Amino acid sequence: MVAKSEAAEHERLVLAAVDKFLEAEVRPHVHALEHDDVYPADIVEKMKERGLFGCIIAPEYGGLGLSTSTYAKIIERMSAVWMSISGIINSHLIMAMVVQRNGTDEQKAKFLPRFATGEVRGGIGLTEPDCGTDLQAIRTVARRAGNNDYVVNGRKTWISNGLHGNCLALLVKTDPNANPRHKGMSVLIAEKGPGFTVSRKLEKLGYKGIDTCELAFDDYKVPADCLVGGVEGRGLQQILNGLELGRINVAARGVGVAAAALKEAVAYSQVRKTFGKPICEHQAIQLKLGDMATRLEAARLLTYRAAEAYDRGERCDMEAGMAKLFATEAAMENSLEAMRIHGAYGYSKEFSIERLYRDAPLLIIGEGTNEMQRIIIAKQLIERNRV
């Protein structure tokens, strides 16, 4: 009981520090940075100083060792202020967890301390121009060149932290002819070097500030000891384990966006008047606020449940999928309802509502579309309830 209460107090202090950082160092700059699609370099440096790039990396490797549950609450708070900075951390930590959960002892000792400080920062290299959800269809190939290196050729797209990051957990085909296809897939810890180039930065509707890029690999060499786990053919499962964390992160982002939209709507509805009274006293607005609040709370509970399952080391693709599906739809619906409550002001770039409305669709698409989440949920539902 004492340990539980100490953990709760530690979490409270961590979240209070994050809130203070967001209010002092992030919120005042969001409008200008987002409007001009400027990478928040100064904010990233301050995030490094606070250890946020190592927040769930184990303490023995220099990380903070926070639980996934606490991490989800951090991401929720970040996304309520500016979703883009949560993405800068998320892709990086998926890469770190791929190594922490699957890497050799030597790989963990070499990379995790540098990941924790943010000295080496990056993300995951999965999707390709002709391959999104169907990861087994990737065509980036890594072939052995002697005993010491792999030589990589191929293209990746929609890669977060591709420009300003310097390392990727890179999904490749080490045996393009393997059957089934997943047995020919591996993950390499790929630091930038000759042959690893950023071909272009992608322009986006929302999710501004974070760098999202197309990458080219042309005879790019990776040391053979950077094969995650030291064994070929395990890459797809290694990445899928990481994506459970990614989906919890995206769910937490959805909670943050939904919460920000509700907060703005509740505040505005009390100061905007029509027909002689604040619009929050009109039943039509009350119905919207009631639905928004209920969606938010349900999304939050699903997200925390998935995070707790991940902390216990359980398989949680169904729980993470449910949280991701519901929370991101809640973000989309709440941002739209907040815009309707604000009227023309919600459509104006002077206010944050239009930014929330532009950011929310990415969550429905990213880390596996919501259509794919429904399929994952259904398959796991059947698997866990065999007749």
- The residues annotated as belonging to the active site are 367
Judge whether 289 and 333 are in contact, CB under 8 Å: no
DSSP conformation class of 203: P
Kindly state the tokens that stand for 48.
Answer: 């490094």
- Could you give the CA distance from residue 313 to residue 158 in angstroms, rounded to a whole number? 29
CA proximity to 251, closest of 69, 34, 43: 69
* CA 340 – CA 291 distance, rounded (Å): 14
CA distance 277 to 99: 58
Q: What angle do CA 99, 105, 106 make, to 5 degrees?
A: 90
Q: Which two tokens stand for residue 214?
A: 């197309």
Place of tokens 């009227």: 343
Q: Tell me how far apart the alpha carbons of residues 129 and 156 are, in angstroms, rounded to a whole number.
A: 7
Helix (H) / strand (E) element for 197: namely strand 196-201
Question: What does R_g of the chain's alpha carbons equal in angstroms?
Answer: 21
Whole-angstrom distance, CA of residue 286 vs CA of residue 298: 18
For 133, phi then psi, to 5°, come to: -65, -35
